[in-house]
């Protein structure tokens, strides 16, 4: 079997694949058309961030069984297209966590002591000792946005520097944060209290520009901001204005909304109180060797033994089990993704009830699929079918499974209640025919909907004219409705409307929808990449 390595990979990864008996070609820097011509020869493809694995390229990959990303991010892989062709996509989500966290701390120290500026001054033949007065970090407050794996490591390093650590993470239970010595606060409070703020969240619709003008206005004038997570999480225009107008003292970015970036499209680079690096968060020898070793071992195990590890689109189950519960894996993942988006607060407990004939099968893969879906909206590529249960355990989430021989109204049902520190929601799903997942209940509302793609969930009074006004409002903004399902709650005379749209509804359009008469609440749901 043949494996193509199309991006730079540490030699240890190449060696592992060859020692396993696989034929390995290292051919980097390929243009898309060049990759299309040769991809049909290979069983495996190893990439980093440079190669774009598009649907067009996958269409020509007649033998390809697995794509392995030596790292975490999969923005350059069309995962749904790979899944449709039965190609496993795997990554190495934890291989560079320590390196990324340490880079954020390095940026903090560079800002605090003016290291880049002082270095440049000396190289220009100057000795400006008084100009570059720095500050100590000991005793200061280190604020973390996103206290997951990388954010947790960054917080621990800050604690080692005798800093107080606080964090904003609406999905982290308070008890788990306290165990690692971090105080959970609101985003506004974090901005007001922190001396240094470091971002460690993936780029999602919730986190896009989460740090913008209002955030910087709440920060202390002598505070500093650091982003080594993902471009687009920080509004770069707002950051520029905050630095120019001395709203904050300094900032450091390792990631940008457009990469590669330059002074032409990023005026931040011209500022004296701004420090930057060209996306070096994972760029250490240790991290590159770690992710290369991890992905090589995973790919060799899959190609030679059929063992699946850290796959983002395939659970680790046998063919026999997959044949029995396969359609319910997709249903479980859909319900998980939807649950996290409608939930408020950190998840504390999950109750999963398997009913009907489903109760007699091996349902553990369905539970894993649900957890993978649950964490996808907040962790994106960092969660997969292998680490989802581990993440649930690390976050202190209690998982309770039960079984019932009787399934009301359907042959089989999957009912899942998620309890947070602010309330609870119950979703019930089933599978029609051989492979048609359906949501049949949302709390007390009964309906029949396919939870997939961009969606809009609307709560409204059950009166004439609501659906018409809603359709008109969406249509005027160019949003097309592909499917619509209405669920009714008899006791309260309330409805829910679940719409599938051709694109995600913008914040501005969502506000217009919520302003419509007799609509009490509306929410955008994104189930696109399931």
The residues assigned a catalytic role are: 230, 259, 279
Q: How many Cα atoms sit within 13 Å of 475 on the Cβ side?
A: 7
Query: Going by DSSP bridges, is the β-strand pair 453-461/481-489 parallel, antiparallel, or unpaired?
Result: unpaired
Kindly report the three-state secondary structure assignment for every residue of 366-378: HHHHHHHHHHHHH
Q: How many Cα atoms sit within 13 Å of 461 on the Cβ side?
A: 8
Q: Which residues contact 82 (CB under 8 A, 6 or more apart)?
A: 53, 58, 67, 88, 89, 313
Q: Can you tell me the distance from the alpha carbon of 316 to that of 328, in angstroms, rounded to the nearest whole number?
A: 15
Q: How many Cα atoms sit within 13 Å of 416 on the Cβ side?
A: 31
Alpha helices in 20-78 (DSSP H): 32-38, 55-59
Q: Give the position of tokens 């990439």.
A: 47
Query: What does the buried/exposed string (b/e) look like for 372-404 if buried means 16 or more CB atoms within 10 Å of the residue's CB?
Result: bbbbbbbbbbbbbbbbbbebbebbbbeeeeeee
Q: Which residues contact 295 (CB under 8 A, 6 or more apart)?
A: 13, 46, 68, 69, 70, 90, 91, 92, 95
CA dihedral 179, 183, 184, 187 (to 10 degrees): -150
Q: Can you tell me the distance from the alpha carbon of 349 to that of 397, in angstroms, rounded to the nearest whole number?
A: 5
Rg of the chain on CA atoms, in Å:
25
Q: If DSSP codes are grouped into helix, strand and coil, which group holds residue 411?
A: coil
143 neighbors 182 (Cβ within 8 angstroms): no
497: left (phi over 0), alpha (psi -120 to 50) or beta: beta
Q: CA 102, 106, 107 angle in degrees (round to 5)?
A: 120
Is 260 exposed, middle or buried, given 0-12, 13-18 or 19+ CB atoms closer than 10 A? exposed
Helices and strands of the chain, counted as H and E runs: 17, 22
CA dihedral 487, 489, 495, 501 (to 10 degrees): -30
């Amino acid at each position: 079997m043949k494996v193509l390595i199309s991006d730079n990979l540490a030699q240890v990864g190449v060696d592992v694949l060859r020692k396993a008996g696989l034929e390995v070609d290292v051919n980097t820097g390929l243009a898309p058309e060049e990759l299309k011509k040769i991809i049909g020869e290979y069983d495996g493809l190893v990439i980093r961030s440079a190669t774009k694995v598009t649907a067009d390229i996958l269409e020509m990959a007649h033998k390809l069984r697995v794509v392995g990303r030596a790292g975490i991010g999969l923005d350059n892989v069309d995962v749904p297209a790979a899944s449709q062709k039965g190609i496993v996509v795997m990554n190495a989500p934890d291989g560079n966590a320590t390196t990324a966290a340490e880079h954020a701390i390095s940026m903090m120290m560079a800002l605090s002591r003016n290291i880049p500026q002082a270095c440049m001054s000396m190289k220009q033949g100057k000795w400006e000792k008084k100009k570059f007065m720095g500050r100590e970090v000991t005793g200061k407050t280190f604020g973390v946005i996103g206290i997951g794996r990388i954010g947790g490591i960054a917080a621990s390093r800050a604690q080692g520097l005798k800093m107080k650590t606080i964090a904003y993470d609406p999905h982290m239970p308070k008890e788990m944060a306290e165990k690692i010595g971090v105080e959970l606060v609101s985003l506004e409070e974090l901005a007001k209290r922190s001396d240094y703020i470091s971002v460690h969240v993936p780029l999602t619709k919730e986190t896009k520009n989460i740090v913008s003008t209002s955030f910087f206005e709440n920060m202390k004038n002598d505070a500093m901001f650091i982003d080594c997570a993902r471009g687009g999480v920080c509004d770069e225009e707002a950051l520029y204005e905050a630095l120019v107008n001395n709203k904050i003292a300094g900032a450091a970015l390792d990631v940008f909304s457009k990469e590669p970036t330059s002074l032409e499209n990023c005026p931040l680079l011209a500022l004296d109180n701004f420090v930057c690096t060209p996306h070096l968060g994972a760029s250490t020898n240790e991290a590159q060797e770690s992710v290369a070793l991890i992905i090589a071992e995973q790919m060799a195990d899959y190609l030679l033994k059929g063992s699946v590890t850290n796959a983002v689109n395939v659970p680790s189950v046998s063919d026999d089990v997959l044949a029995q519960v396969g359609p319910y894996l997709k249903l479980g993942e859909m319900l998980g993704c939807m649950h996290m988006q409608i939930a408020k607060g950190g998840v504390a407990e999950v109750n999963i009830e398997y009913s009907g004939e489903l109760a007699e099968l091996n349902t553990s893969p369905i539970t894993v699929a649900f957890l993978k879906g649950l964490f996808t909206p907040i962790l994106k590529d960092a969660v997969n079918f292998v680490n989802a249960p581990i993440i649930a355990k690390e976050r202190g989430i209690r998982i309770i499974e039960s079984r019932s021989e009787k399934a009301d109204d359907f042959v089989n049902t999957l009912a899942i209640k998620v309890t947070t520190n602010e309330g609870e929601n119950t979703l019930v799903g089933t599978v029609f025919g051989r492979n048609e997942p359906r949501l049949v209940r949302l709390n007390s509302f009964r309906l029949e909907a396919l939870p997939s793609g961009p969606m809009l969930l609307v709560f409204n009074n059950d009166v004439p004219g609501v659906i018409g006004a809603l359709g008109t409002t969406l249509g005027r903004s160019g949003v097309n409705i592909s499917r619509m399902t209405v669920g009714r709650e008899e006791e309260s005379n309330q409805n829910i409307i679940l719409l599938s749209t051709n694109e995600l509804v913008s914040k501005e359009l969502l506000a217009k929808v919520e302003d419509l008469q007799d609509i009490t609440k509306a929410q955008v749901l994104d189930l696109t990449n399931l």
